[in-house]
Amino acid sequence: MPPEAPKPCGMRKGMDQMTTKWVYKFGGGDADGGTGDKNLLGGKGANLAEMAGIGLPVPPGFTITTEMCTRFYELGEDFPDDLDAQVQAGMQHIEKITGRRFGDTAAPLLVSVRSGARASMPGMMDTVLNLGLNDDTVAGLAAESGDERFAWDSYRRFIQMYSDVVLGLDHYLFEDAMEIAKEDKGVYLDTELEADDLKALVAVYKEKVEEELGRPFPQDPKDQLWGGIRAVFSSWNTERAKVYRRLNNIPHDWGTAVNVQAMVFGNMGDTSATGVAFTRDPSTGENRYYGEFLINAQGEDVVAGIRTPQYLTKAGKDAAGADKPAMEEAMPEVYAQLADTFALLEKHYRDMQDIEFTVQEGTLWLLQTRNGKRTAPAALKIAVDMAAEGLITEEEAVCRVDPQALDQLLHPTLDPDAKRDVIATGLPASPGAASGIIAFTADEAERRASLGEDVLLVRVETSPEDIHGMHAAKGILTARGGMTSHAAVVARGMGRPCVSGAGSLSIDRQTKEMTVGGRTFKEGDRLTIDGGTGEVMAGEVATVQPVLAGDFGTLMDWADKKRRMRVRTNAETPAECHTAREFGAEGIGLCRTEHMFFEADRITAVREMILSEDESDRRKALAKLLPSQRSDFEEIFRVMAGLPVTVRLLDPPLHEFMPQSDADFDEVARASGFSVERLKRRASELHEFNPMLGHRGCRLGITYPEIYEMQARAIFEAALTVAEENDGDGDTVLPEIMVPLVMTAGELSTIRALVERTADAVFQERGRRIAYLVGTMIELPRAALKAHEIAAHAEFFSFGTNDLTQTTLGISRDDAGRFLGDYVDKGLLARDPFVSIDEGGVGELVALAAERGRSTAPEIKLGICGEHGGDPDSVAFCEKTGLAYVSCSPYRVPIARLAAAQAALRSSD
C-alpha cells in the first residue's frame, strides 16, 4: 500500500481476503494475457501482451486490471490490501528482464505509468513517464548512459509531468521557468539547453513544487509509483473523460486499466527517435505507410504537436514537399524492421494498425498497437481493399465500417467550380467541407451552436478541455499541430472536418481576432474549410452532392446482399424522395402530409377549414385543398414509381396551423378576410396544454372525417393518374395509407371504413382499381398492448418510436433538454432515448406489439418510422425483433442499409 493512503476502516479492506489476480505481466517473449483480454486489461494492455506473446520487441511491464478500477471506486478511491504484493511482483518481473532495479543508483529502472481502457479515449486520461528518477538515480542514469544531458532532461521532464498529473500543479509553472532559462541563455530551442542548464532547472522545478505544496517533490520511487497508479485510476472520472464517454457511448462502469512499463528512450541522441504510424493512410485509406517521427524526442512530443515532425516515408515527405529527411532515409535499417513489423501486425490483427514506437540508440521498441481510427472514406477503402487482398471476408468488410461514420460521406462537399477566396492552407487533418462563423473558444462555439448557428472552432491548438466545443462545431481550424495532433485525432473520430497547423494564422484570444495576410477576421465572421485539401477560405463556398460510387458502391452492394430488412425513407417532397432513391431507399415509410398544408398557397384554405362553423363549410375549404394535395401525391408517386409509398394522414393538432404572434394574426386577418378577433377566439379555443397528448392524429379523423376523406381522395386520384402514366413501363403505384395515433381497434376500423368507401368511390368514378394497403402507426403504449385487436384491421404496423418514447417514458422531446443530458451524465439513462431506442422500455412494447400483432395477423408487415430507423443500434434491435423494414431520413438511408446488413450478419452468428 502507498504510505500516503491511510486505512481508517480496516474492516472494509479486510473483505478482500481471497486473492484476486489484479496484475498481468508481459515482456521477455511471453505474457499473462493477450488480445482476448481487452475487457480486463484494456486495449493497450491486451495488445502489449499480445505483441510480447508473438515475440515483438516490447519493453517489459505489467497491467493492473480494469476490475481494480471498479474496486478502487467501490473503496472510495482506495486500494485493497492484496494489490501491493502483486505490484511488487510485477516490478520484480521488469527488473529481472531489464537487469535494472527500481531506485537503484547504478542501473536505475525507470517506468511509464499509462491508462488503457477497453475503448480508446485518446488524450482523455493521464500518463506519467520516466517514473523512478530522483536526485540519486538521475546520477546513475547519467553515468550508465554516458549522457548527463539526457539524464537531467529526463528528470526535469519527469518532475514537470508528475507535478501536473499526480500533484495537480499547473504546468505553466514549469513552462515559465523553462522559458526564463532559455532567455537567460539566449537560446530558442529546448535542445539547446545543456546538462548544467537542465540541472539548474531541476533545482528551480523542485523549489517551485515545495513552494506550492509545502512539501518536497517525492524522492522515494515507490511513493512515485503509487502516486502515478492512483492518478491514472482517478483520471477515469475527470469531467472531460466523462464528456468523452457520453459523446462516444462508452459506459461509465467499464473502468480503465493501468500499464506500468519499462521506459525506453527516444531522446538519447540522434540514433534515438520516437514516432507514431498507421499501416495504411487513416485519412484516405490508401495502402501506404503513414506516420511521423521525431529524432531525439519522447513520444509526447509528437502527439503534442509542439515540434513539427518528419515523415516516415520518402513518398510521404515528397508529397508534402517537406524538407527534413524521412525515416526511410534517416534510419533505413530501423525503418526496414519497422516495415516488417507493420506487415506482421496487419496480418496478425487483420486490420489497419495504429502503432507507437521508440528507437533507443538504434533499437526498435513497440509501445502500442491498436486498430487505427480512420475517416469514413478510409474505413470504406480499407475494408474493401482488405477483402480484395483476401485478408478479410466480404462479411467482415461489411462489419468493419461504422454505419454512423457514413454520415461524413453523404453530405455535400465543396463545389470544385465555385470561387474560393483562399486565405491560408494547413494540413488536411479530417476530410469534409464546413462553413461557419468563427468562435474562438469552445464555450462560445457551444453557445452559438445552441442558437442554431453553424460554427467553426478556431484555436491555436485544441486540448481535451475543448471537446464540447469541437462537438458543437461544424469544423475545426488550428494554427498549430500536425496530422496526429489532438485536434486532428479528435476531429476524425467525431467526423468533423478539420484543418490543422495553418501556421500563417495569427490568433489573438484576447481581442477575439484572427489575422492572416493582412486581413482581419472577427468572431462571427464566416469561413469555410476543406478538410480534404487543408484550404481555409473567407466566406461561404458553394457545395455539391457527393458521388456515391467506387468503394462505397462496392461495400453497399455487399451489405445489400447480406441484409434481411428493407430500408425505406421518411420523405415528403419530391426532392427528398429523389435523394432517398439515390441513396437506395426501397420505398417511403413515412410521408407526412401536414407539411403540405403549410405552403403559402394552402395555409389560407387550411385556416378557412379550421374556422368553419360546420361540416359543410369545412368541406368547402377542403375542396380548395384537394387539387394541391393531389398534385403533391402525384409528384411523389412519380418519383417513387414501382416502390411502396406510406402516406400518413393528417397528424398534428389544428392549432399548429393557426398564427402565433400578434403580427401574424394581423397579416392572416388581412389575407383571409377573417377578423383578428375571430382568429384569436378560434386559436384560443384550440389551445392545448399538452398538444403532444391532444386532439391530433386519428382523433382528428374521428371528429372531422371529411379531412381524412379529402386526403384519401387526393391519394387515390393521384395514384390512378400516375398508374395511367406508368402503364407503358410496368411500374406500379403502391399507396399504403397510414392512420396515426391509434389507441383502440375501433378507431382504425372506423377510419379504415372511411378510406375504403372513398377508394371505392374514386375507383368507380375513374373506372379503374389499384391495390392499396391500410395500416397504422403503433406510437402509444395502449396501441402496443392492444396490437392483437388492432391487427385485425391493419395490413401493416409502423412503429412511431418518437411518440412511443415520449409516452412510454413520459418525456416531451421538446422539453427534455433541461434534464436529459443530466440523466445520461448521471448514468440514469444509458443513452438519449430519442437517439437510440430504449430497449428495456420502448423496446419491450415494440416486441410485445409485434408478437401480439402477429398472433392475429401472422402476415402483417412490421416496420419502424421513428428517427430511430437511422440509428445503427436501433436498427440492430429491429433486426432482432424481426421487423420487415426500417424507415429513416434520406441522408441516413445508406447508414440504415449498412446497419441492417451488420445486424443480419451478427444475428446469424
* Known binding residues for substrate: 592, 648, 779, 800-803
Q: For residue 177, give the C-alpha cell.
A: 521557468
SS (H, E, C) 436-475: EEEECCHHHHHHHHHCCCCEEEEECCCCHHHHHHHHHCCE
Pairwise CA distance, residues 765 & 248, whole Å: 57
Contact at 8 Å (CB) between 166 and 231?
yes
Query: Using the rule CB under 8 A, which residue among 692, 761, 770, 884 binds a second copy?
Result: 692
Output the smallest distance, CB 767 to a second copy, in A. Answer: 24
The active-site residue out of 399, 498, 865, 888 is 865
486 as an active site residue: the answer is: yes
Residue type, 538: A
Q: Residue 690 interacts with a second copy (CB under 8 A)? A: yes
* Residue stretches of the annotated binding site: 592, 648, 779, 800-803
Using CB atoms within 10 A of its CB, is residue 749 exposed (0-12), middle (13-18) or buried (19+)?
A: middle
Query: Using the rule CB under 8 A, which residue among 215, 517, 689, 859 binds a second copy?
Result: 689
Output the smallest distance, CB 815 to a second copy, in A. Answer: 4
Q: For residue 872, give the C-alpha cell.
A: 445503427
Output the smallest distance, CB 803 to a second copy, in A. Answer: 7
Q: Residue 803 interacts with a second copy (CB under 8 A)? A: yes
Pairwise CA distance, residues 339 & 347, whole Å: 13
Q: Which residues contact 643 (CB under 8 A, 6 or more apart)?
A: 581, 585, 586, 587, 588, 734
Output the smallest distance, CB 467 to a second copy, in A. Answer: 23
Radius of gyration of the chain (CA): 32
x/- track of binding to a second copy for residues 842-871 (CB under 8 A): x-xx--------------------------
Output the smallest distance, CB 13 to a second copy, in A. Answer: 23
Pairwise CA distance, residues 568 & 861, whole Å: 13
Residue for cell digits 396515426? 740
Pairwise CA distance, residues 52 & 45, whole Å: 11
Pairwise CA distance, residues 355 & 369, whole Å: 4
CA dihedral 266, 267, 273, 278 (to 10 degrees): 60
Nearer to a second copy, 239 or 844 (CB): 844
Q: Residue 811 interacts with a second copy (CB under 8 A)? A: yes
* Residue stretches of the annotated binding site for Mg(2+): 779, 803
Interhelix angle 38-53/66-74, rounded to 10 degrees, is 150
Any idea what DSSP says for residue 842?
Answer: I
Q: Residue 288 interacts with a second copy (CB under 8 A)? A: no
Query: Using the rule CB under 8 A, which residue among 112, 261, 806, 889 binds a second copy?
Result: 806
Contact region with a second copy (CB under 8 A), list: 117-125, 178-186, 289-297, 803-811: 803-811
Q: Residue 688 interacts with a second copy (CB under 8 A)? A: yes
Query: Using the rule CB under 8 A, which residue among 77, 318, 443, 815 binds a second copy?
Result: 815
Output the smallest distance, CB 851 to a second copy, in A. Answer: 14
348 as an active site residue: the answer is: no
Q: Residue 253 interacts with a second copy (CB under 8 A)? A: no
By CB under 8 A, the residues from 305 to 364 that bind a second copy are: none
Count residues contacting a second copy (CB under 8 A)?
A: 47
Residue for cell digits 473502468? 255
Nearer to a second copy, 729 or 814 (CB): 814
Query: Using the rule CB under 8 A, which residue among 553, 574, 841, 882 binds a second copy?
Result: 841
Q: Residue 808 interacts with a second copy (CB under 8 A)? A: yes
Contact at 8 Å (CB) between 736 and 796?
yes
Q: Residue 827 interacts with a second copy (CB under 8 A)? A: yes
Pairwise CA distance, residues 480 & 478, whole Å: 6
x/- track of binding to a second copy for residues 714-743 (CB under 8 A): ---------------------------x-x
Output the smallest distance, CB 447 to a second copy, in A. Answer: 15
Nearer to a second copy, 130 or 807 (CB): 807
By CB under 8 A, the residues from 601 to 640 that bind a second copy are: none
DSSP H or E segment with residue 275: strand 273-278
The active-site residue out of 468, 471, 486, 655 is 486
Q: Give the chain's end-to-end CA distance (angstroms, integer).
A: 46
Q: Which residues contact 838 (CB under 8 A, 6 or more apart)?
A: 805, 808, 809, 829, 831
DSSP codes, 736-761: EEEE-S--SHHHHHHHHHHHHHHHHH
Nearer to a second copy, 76 or 810 (CB): 810
798 phi, psi to nearest 5 deg: -120, 120
**Distances in whole angstroms, Cα of residue 886 to Cα of each of 589, 881, 883:** 8, 12, 8
Nearer to a second copy, 314 or 880 (CB): 880
Contact region with a second copy (CB under 8 A), list: 53-61, 189-197, 250-258, 835-843: 835-843
Using CB atoms within 10 A of its CB, is residue 826 exposed (0-12), middle (13-18) or buried (19+)?
A: exposed
Contact region with a second copy (CB under 8 A), list: 81-89, 663-671, 684-692, 707-715: 684-692
Q: Residue 823 interacts with a second copy (CB under 8 A)? A: yes
By CB under 8 A, the residues from 761 to 800 that bind a second copy are: 779-782, 785-786
Output the smallest distance, CB 883 to a second copy, in A. Answer: 19
Output the smallest distance, CB 698 to a second copy, in A. Answer: 10
Burial 670-708 (b: 16+ CB within 10 A, else e): eebebeeeebbebbeebeeeebeebebbbbbbeebbbbb
Contact at 8 Å (CB) between 311 and 288?
no
Query: Using the rule CB under 8 A, which residue among 818, 858, 859, 909 binds a second copy?
Result: 818
Q: Residue 550 interacts with a second copy (CB under 8 A)? A: no
Contact region with a second copy (CB under 8 A), list: 256-264, 317-325, 399-407, 693-701: 693-701
Output the smallest distance, CB 669 to a second copy, in A. Answer: 23
Output the smallest distance, CB 797 to a second copy, in A. Answer: 16
CA dihedral 600, 605, 608, 613 (to 10 degrees): -160
Q: Which sign does the torsion angle of CA 40, 45, 51, 56 carry?
A: negative
Contact at 8 Å (CB) between 429 and 529?
no
Contact region with a second copy (CB under 8 A), list: 411-419, 628-636, 728-736, 811-819: 811-819
Contact region with a second copy (CB under 8 A), list: 39-47, 241-249, 695-703, 888-896: 695-703
Q: Residue 446 interacts with a second copy (CB under 8 A)? A: no
Q: ∠ CA(632), CA(545), CA(635), 5° rounding? A: 10
Active site residues: 486, 865
Where on the chain is the footprint of a second copy (CB under 8 A)?
Answer: 688-695, 699, 702-703, 741, 743-744, 746-747, 750, 779-782, 785-786, 803, 806-812, 814-815, 818-819, 822-823, 826-829, 838, 840-842, 844-845
